[in-house]
Structure 1
Amino acid sequence: MISIILPFFNSEEYLKESIQSVLNQNFHDWELILVNDGSTDNSKDIARSYRDSRIYYFEQENKGVSEARNLGLRNMKGDYFCFLDSDDVLPPKSLKSRLSIFELNPNIHFVDGRVIKMDKTLNITTQEWQPTHEGNPLKDLVSLNGNCFLGLTWMIKRISGKNYQFDTNLTHSEDLLFYMKLARNGGEYSFTDDPILYYRDTPHSAMKNLKGLEHGYRFTGNSIKEWNEVDKKLLKTYQFRYKKAMFLAYLRVFQPINAILTIF
């Protein structure tokens, strides 16, 4: 069984479409864990309107997406799990195409796939991303080269007894650090060529908060610098690439002072 964890906060505009994309899967042995992170709009009513026995509803006070995902992780029952944001959509073969890759090799613990970025109406494709990495993904993640990471797009083989948790100190890059910790414990990464996510690029996307993103990068760098698996050269590569990315990101929104400060 596959557990799909879907946290949401004031997501009434797109939530129904996200849930329906799970119901439309051509693989049917799944559970959908909906976690209401203190919504004040009509999201709760939308989530609770479904009567499918595979859909489970939880709620908490507004504590942020990491706490919401952790609540889902604590309650999942699947042999595999993945995540879905409340404004994104799964193509009909998303679950089955990723699951089929696991069947090829027992050493595979993480399966990804092609991500299609679209406008907010999901009518216009703005960008496509295809992973290319195979093998353990830790060094690739730390290198920030984009061969195996675009966000929470992995399906993960669940290890019995393992405690899966996001760091709740972060509002950004929590997904990157989460994956790094998993990869540090071993396991191979692979991918399908099929599309596994339609990513809705909205004005409120988390990537728009550059200060939060910079803090996430710095926190992640401080977290991994003591790991034996990350040598000094690899750590320098991480620091150079995240600082370059933040420098350019600040310049794009006409914040030259913040761009300069991010170098130090």
Structure 2
Amino acid sequence: MPKVSVIIPAYNAMTYLPETLESVLRQTFTDFEVLIVNDGSSDPILEWACGIVDPRVKLISQENQGVSTARNTGITHAQGEYIAFVDADDLWESTKLAKQIRCLEENPAIGLVHTWIVLIDEQGKSSGRVISSNAKGNVWKQVVEHNLIQTSTVLVRRCCLETVGVFDQNLRSAEDWELWVRIASRYLLAVVKEPLVFYRLHSCNTTKNWRLIEQGLSPVIEKVFQSIPPEAQYLKHRCYGRGNLHLAWKALQSDDKDCKWARHFRTLAVKYYPQLRYSRQYIRLSLAIAIMEWFGPFGFSRVMAFMYILRHRVFSI
């Protein structure tokens, strides 16, 4: 049996999928299988898969049912002791699996290990922006308050999923966060503090659709807090606050560059969680909204790109 099962959900993903698979096959740790779950694609994924000669790679096809069902299908077919997820447009650094497996092997109490990420553009060029997280140990309350883990960074013990369950196929967004909450309630988490995953930003990212995220926000938060003990229910308002702050950023970064909705969600964020107005995220958001209003969408993009580059250089010194 392979040590690791790598699950790649794919829906009309041929633009980036071959590069994603290549980054997985380049791993220095090699005892794995790759399960590509074709979620009813209309692109030539079947023809492409027929040309794959690596016996570790398997294609599983199903009718289109969404990314959560596709991941769950992969979990059902997985044979590995550990399960890893990677979206069909993201990339892995070659030592990702090796470093995460070492972490789990040396720490039996840890159920899930994740990593930092680097943002890349459609061509795979790094933006220089690293998204980091220090979520490790007993971080259930932190994970409940907001999502600290990106799916393509996760390596989880199979036994954890057998205990807490898999992705909720009824949720329209944040289904990954809801699963991490369940895992964090039962197991310790770990993080490899290195950017070992390259998260691709492009026009088809589902995370750019703030309207879809807004529709799914309340159902996922309400589901999570159904099982939260009474003494931790105060986190619910914090969760709504951070969720609306996230929506404000998504509205601002959407194709519409919608300042009106960004301001609306910013107002809701501090209504739910007033202390957010003193946070770095809130201050950065307010500055970004002001830049958009002063310079327009084109100027906003250029100023924000310059600020990311400047921040990267400052923190790299």
TM-score, normalising length: structure 1: 0.90
Where 1:225 maps in the other structure, the secondary structure is helix
Tell me if 1:137 matches 2:139: yes
Alignment of 1:24-43 (within 5 A): 24-43=26-45
Indicate the larger mover: 248-257 or 226-235: 248-257
- The superposition leaves residues 203-227 of structure 1 with CA deviations (integer Å, 9 ceiling, x where unpaired) of 1111111111112221111102222
Distance 2:199 2:94 in 1: 14
**Which residue of structure 2 aligns with residue 200 of structure 1?**
200
Task: Give the CA deviation at 1:244.
Answer: 2.8
Task: Give the CA deviation at 1:152.
Answer: 4.1
Contact 2:7/2:36, CA 8 A, preserved across alignment: yes
Contact 1:70/1:164, CA 8 A, preserved across alignment: no
Distance 2:262 2:135 in 1: 33
Gap runs ≥5 in structure 1: none
Contact 1:135/1:190, CA 8 A, preserved across alignment: yes
Distance 1:105 1:55 in 2: 29
Contact 1:248/1:259, CA 8 A, preserved across alignment: no
Task: Give the CA deviation at 1:104.
Answer: 2.5
Contact 1:66/1:171, CA 8 A, preserved across alignment: no
**Which residue of structure 2 aligns with residue 222 of structure 1?**
222
TM-score, normalising length: structure 2: 0.76
CA RMSD of aligned residues (A): 2.2
Indicate the larger mover: 238-247 or 196-205: 238-247
**Which residue of structure 2 aligns with residue 149 of structure 1?**
149
Distance 2:75 2:11 in 1: 17
Distance 1:221 1:241 in 2: 11
Bigger Rg, which one: 2
Task: Give the CA deviation at 1:166.
Answer: 1.3
Q: 1:258 to 1:120 in 2, by over 3 A?
A: closer
Q: 1:259 to 1:215 in 2, by over 3 A?
A: farther
Indicate the larger mover: 244-253 or 186-195: 244-253
Tell which has more relative contact order, 1 or 2 (C-alpha 8 A, sep 6+): 1
- AA aligned to 1:103 is E
Alignment of 1:1-264 (within 5 A): 1-144=3-146, 148-159=148-159, 161-162=162-163, 164-184=165-185, 186-229=186-229, 231-250=232-251, 253-254=257-258, 256=260, 260=264, 263=268
Where 1:53 maps in the other structure, the secondary structure is coil
Task: Give the CA deviation at 1:89.
Answer: 1.0
Distance 2:238 2:164 in 1: 30
Distance 2:170 2:90 in 1: 24
- AA aligned to 1:12 is M
Where 2:159 maps in the other structure, the secondary structure is coil
Contact 1:91/1:197, CA 8 A, preserved across alignment: yes
- AA aligned to 1:150 is Q
Distance 1:225 1:158 in 2: 25
Gap runs ≥5 in structure 2: 272-317
Where 1:27 maps in the other structure, the secondary structure is coil
Distance 1:81 1:63 in 2: 21
Distance 2:86 2:233 in 1: 34
Number of residue-to-residue matches in the alignment: 261
Task: Give the CA deviation at 1:241.
Answer: 1.4
Structure with greater proportional helix content: 2
Indicate the larger mover: 103-112 or 246-255: 246-255
Q: 1:40 to 1:51 in 2, by over 3 A?
A: same
- AA aligned to 1:254 is D
- The superposition leaves residues 144-191 of structure 1 with CA deviations (integer Å, 9 ceiling, x where unpaired) of 2x6x3234422101217447421122232111111112222x111111
Task: Give the CA deviation at 1:103.
Answer: 2.4
**Which residue of structure 1 aligns with residue 277 of structure 2?**
none
